[in-house]
Every structure is written in C-alpha cells, then in structure tokens.
Amino acid sequence: MSFEIPERGYLLDTHIALWAIGRPNALSARALKVVLTGPNFLSVISYWEVMVKCMKGSLVLGDPRAWWTEALEKLVAIPIALQAEHIPALASLPPIHKDPFDRMLIAQASVEGLTLVSMNADIAKYASKSMRVIG
C-alpha cells in the first residue's frame, strides 16, 4: 500500500501516538494541538516498537496486534512504511541517543521533510534547520 506524502505534516513519535489515544492530558499543549490539527503520519516503526514492548511486558495494551489500525483511525494518520532511502539517513545522525526506534523515526522525518512530534528531550537535540522537532 503506497501513500503520497504531502509537503508538510507531523510524524508522531510512538509515545505521542500512545498518549494521544490513551491519555491526551499527558501531552503538551503544543503537541496536542498538532495531533488535533495534523496532518499526522504514523510510521510502521512505531507499530514494531509497540509490538516489541508488549511482547517484553514493558507496555500493556489490550491487543497490540490491533493497535496499528486503531491508532491510524483514531489519529487520522497516514501510515509511513520503512523505505530503503530512510536507512542511509541514520549514518548522518549524531550519537545523541541510542534507541533504534527513535533514531529510525528521526531518519524518516528528516528524509520525508516531516516535523517530528516528541516530548523526548534527547530527540529534541536533533532539531536543526533541516529537521524540525516539536513537543
């Protein structure tokens, strides 16, 4: 399934997607506004992260297999698949943060020209002229 990505939009970090659905009051006012206005994008990387964390027991959801479809629907989000062109962007990222899921989301946002929405202070350190991060 292929989707055209508009020039501007917001790639939601996994915790932003989880909080927007389950506890929106945990989001900053700015993050909540972005989620409500969009356009929102959700990476398959977040689905992978949710599944891995549920399998390890560090995240509890009703049915993690159903989370992806529900999240896309509730967040009115456009899915982004992992593409080969996203991978080389990892090499240019400074070693600020070691979380592989977060680093891949940063790379995807950078390649796709999307603003990454995250309340993670380490991710905010990646912001630059060419990479916007809001939280």
In a domain, 34, yes or no: yes
In a domain, 26, yes or no: yes
Q: Name 46's Cβ contacts closer than 8 Å, sequence gap at least 6.
A: 12, 13, 14, 17, 71, 101, 105
In a domain, 99, yes or no: yes
Half-sphere exposure (Cβ direction) of 13: Cα atoms closer than 13 Å: 26
Pick left, alpha or beta for residue 113 (phi over 0 → left; psi -120 to 50 → alpha; otherwise beta).
Answer: left
The pLDDT tens digits of the residues spanning 17-71 come to: 999 999 999 999 999 999 999 999 999 999 999 999 999 999 998 898 999 999 9
Q: What CATH number does the domain containing 116 carry?
A: 3.40.50.1010
Of 105, 48, 100, nearest to 71 by C-alpha is: 48
In a domain, 5, yes or no: no
**Based on the structure, what is the number of domains in the chain?**
1
In a domain, 50, yes or no: yes
The pLDDT of residue 6 is: 45
The pLDDT tens digits of the residues spanning 75-130 come to: 999 999 999 999 998 898 888 888 999 999 999 999 999 999 998 888 777 777 66
The pLDDT of residue 129 is: 64
In a domain, 4, yes or no: no
In a domain, 2, yes or no: no
**Parent domain of 42:** 10-134
The amino acid occupying position 75 is L
